[in-house]
Structure 1
Amino acid sequence: MPGMEEALTFTDQHGHRVAAILATPEAPTDRAVLLCHGFLSGKNSTTNKTLTRSLTEQDIATFRFDFFGQGESEGPFENLTITIALGQALAALDQLFARGYRRIGLVGSSFGGLIAILTAARWSHPPTPGVVTPTHPAPAGTGASPHGRASSRGPELACLGLKCPVVDFAEVLRLEFGEAGMAHWKTHHEIPDVTGGPKPVRLRYALYENCLEYDGHKAAAMIKMPTLIVQGEKDDLVPLHQSRRLMEVLQGKRQLEILPGADHAFSKGEDFKKLTTLLADWMVKHLN
């Protein structure tokens, strides 16, 4: 049954303050799901809040947080990198284990899907150059590090759920902005607001360079936990071939659901309901 929500903060391994909400059911539980939001989104996204309602009704806690520079978390968004986001997701898992949760699932949306993949691989395996740890130091001034978790490894994660995951973020950025847009970004350190806003968004080109240091598909080849991928047939941002290749390289039980006619945002009510039902059911099934 639904219980209560606790707003809290924690720090990542670089000292950045991260804002989060722990939602707990009325009954005590050692089951929880970590929710990773998408690019230019936040912990209180419609997806995260819908999944929280569904999961707490099934006596599963959720932990949602704002990535660096988004929502209520510290840091200028323009300095965001994959390295920072990965470190924060790992620190969030540490928070859950420290609070006594032992059966944990992971859900990532779009950009958060990439972070969830890297997090799942990094949690279970030591760093491997070119997979989930950069082969070069992080760009100066980001506060990032080429290292992974700061703490000891906890119990294995139980399952993974991915909403239209951006497995190859560098490819998506090139396709979205085009050659001219990428050149403008490199020179001016700003991008169009991909959420539809009229003003450009300040973002250092270092993010793209950092993307090239990670291989989401190679990381996925290290993942053995049950994994569900849900993507819209008409996704206008992430190419379907990224999810199809993901299915080929994942090592454990996996399932790909392509929703006919659905776009990247699952903007039709029936598509969004199907998406969140699939993800919640997957978590419940594999956390029991």
Structure 2
Amino acid sequence: MSRERLVFEGTSGTGLAGLLDLPTEPPKAVALFAHCFTCGKNSAAAVGIARELIRQQIAVLRFDFTGVGASEGDFADTTFGTNIGDLVCAAEHLREVLAPPTILIGHSLGGAAVLAGAGMIPEVRAVATIGAPAEPRHIEHLFSAEAAVIESLGESTVRVGARQIRLRREFVHDLRHQDQMTRIAKLRRALLIMHSPQDRVVGVDNARRIYDTAAHPKSFVCLDNADHLLTDRADATYCARILATWARRYIDTESDRARGK
């Protein structure tokens, strides 16, 4: 395996930091990974899934959204809409330096982002979500105690997990005005939904709503006993192996078409 550090322009014009993991042989496919809310490209889930996909000869780009990790910009200036824009920018950079992504993978709010952004990346054939909310506004419960302050003063500092971040009124309003159900209904890509019934951050009912709204082909995998962040390496590895096996059906189909079979 080899790894390249990338910096490319995000939707707001600031530099986004990414890691492109490449298998030793020419990749059979290229995947783009979107991390969970405030997590970053080096989260346990991102690292574990990328590691396993590389073993399956799938190249993976994982990157930090604007204002997160090593990427430039102020997180307070971002919205769910800018996350979608950053995802599309990452796909465009992949298109220039390697090949366009055929697989999108998103964890938690990153899962909502890949569902929303897939229609803007024509080469994508398969989309996988892990612990994703059916609608972006679901994450409002993470900062509900500060909701009134954000609305009245325009912004507030909130704690999400171990991190303190500034959120603005625009961020909250943007979450509330996303027509995510329509996007899911019009996805027209193979969809894999992975979710733990023990998820206490994003309840498993969100997976049911996504599944019921999406058209076929669609699949659901139960991540029994996993936590939301997939902190157990075994859970991340299991996710990646299922994902790689599932995605190969669509990768191989594309390869056959290219060969005229």
Considering the TM-score relative to the shorter chain, is it more than 0.5? yes
TM-score (norm 1): 0.80
Structure 2 unaligned blocks of 5 or more: 253-261
Corresponding residue of 1:152: none
Corresponding residue of 1:192: 158
The alpha carbon displacement at 1:258 in A equals 2.5
CA distance, structure 1, for counterparts of residue 57 and residue 99 of structure 2: 13
TM-score (norm 2): 0.87
Residues 6 and 230 from structure 1, CA distance in 2 versus in 1: closer, same or farther, beyond 3 angstroms? same
Aligned residues of 1:86 and 1:118 also touching (Cα < 8 A) = yes
Corresponding residue of 2:34: 36
Residues 47 and 283 from structure 1, CA distance in 2 versus in 1: closer, same or farther, beyond 3 angstroms? farther
Question: Which residues of 2 match residues 210-249 of structure 1 at below 5 A?
Answer: 210-249=174-213
Aligned residues of 2:8 and 2:16 also touching (Cα < 8 A) = yes
The alpha carbon displacement at 1:30 in A equals 5.6
Aligned residues of 1:30 and 1:102 also touching (Cα < 8 A) = no
Question: Which residues of 2 match residues 150-161 of structure 1 at below 5 A?
Answer: 155-161=122-128
- Return the letter of the residue paired with 1:205: R
CA distance, structure 1, for counterparts of residue 31 and residue 231 of structure 2: 24
Corresponding residue of 1:149: none
The CA deviation string for residues 74-103 of structure 1, in whole angstroms up to 9 with x for no partner, is 111111111211111001111122234256
Give the one of 48, 57, 60 matched to 1:59: 57
Corresponding residue of 1:182: 147
- Return the letter of the residue paired with 1:234: Q
CA distance, structure 1, for counterparts of residue 28 and residue 225 of structure 2: 38
Corresponding residue of 2:224: 260
Aligned residues of 2:36 and 2:109 also touching (Cα < 8 A) = yes
Aligned residues of 1:103 and 1:287 also touching (Cα < 8 A) = no
The alpha carbon displacement at 1:239 in A equals 2.8
1:24 and 2:11 matched: no
More helix by share: 2
CA distance, structure 2, for counterparts of residue 162 and residue 47 of structure 1: 12
Structure 1 unaligned blocks of 5 or more: 124-154
Query: Number of paired residues?
Result: 251
CA distance, structure 2, for counterparts of residue 92 and residue 103 of structure 1: 9
Aligned residues of 1:81 and 1:207 also touching (Cα < 8 A) = yes
Corresponding residue of 2:258: none
The CA deviation string for residues 160-200 of structure 1, in whole angstroms up to 9 with x for no partner, is 11010123121331x3344x431133245225322234xx4
Aligned residues of 2:21 and 2:54 also touching (Cα < 8 A) = yes
- Return the letter of the residue paired with 1:181: E
Corresponding residue of 1:145: none
CA distance, structure 1, for counterparts of residue 234 and residue 28 of structure 2: 32
Residues 121 and 58 from structure 1, CA distance in 2 versus in 1: closer, same or farther, beyond 3 angstroms? same
After superposition, the CA RMSD in angstroms is 2.1
Aligned residues of 2:44 and 2:230 also touching (Cα < 8 A) = no
- Return the letter of the residue paired with 1:211: L
Residues 272 and 51 from structure 1, CA distance in 2 versus in 1: closer, same or farther, beyond 3 angstroms? closer
- Return the letter of the residue paired with 2:229: A
- Return the letter of the residue paired with 1:228: L
CA distance, structure 2, for counterparts of residue 105 and residue 55 of structure 1: 11
Corresponding residue of 2:133: 166
Aligned residues of 1:223 and 1:252 also touching (Cα < 8 A) = no
The alpha carbon displacement at 1:247 in A equals 0.6
The alpha carbon displacement at 1:266 in A equals 3.2
CA distance, structure 2, for counterparts of residue 270 and residue 50 of structure 1: 9
Corresponding residue of 2:255: none
The CA deviation string for residues 29-74 of structure 1, in whole angstroms up to 9 with x for no partner, is 3621001001111112221211222111122111111100001111
**What secondary structure sits across from 1:203 in the alignment?**
strand
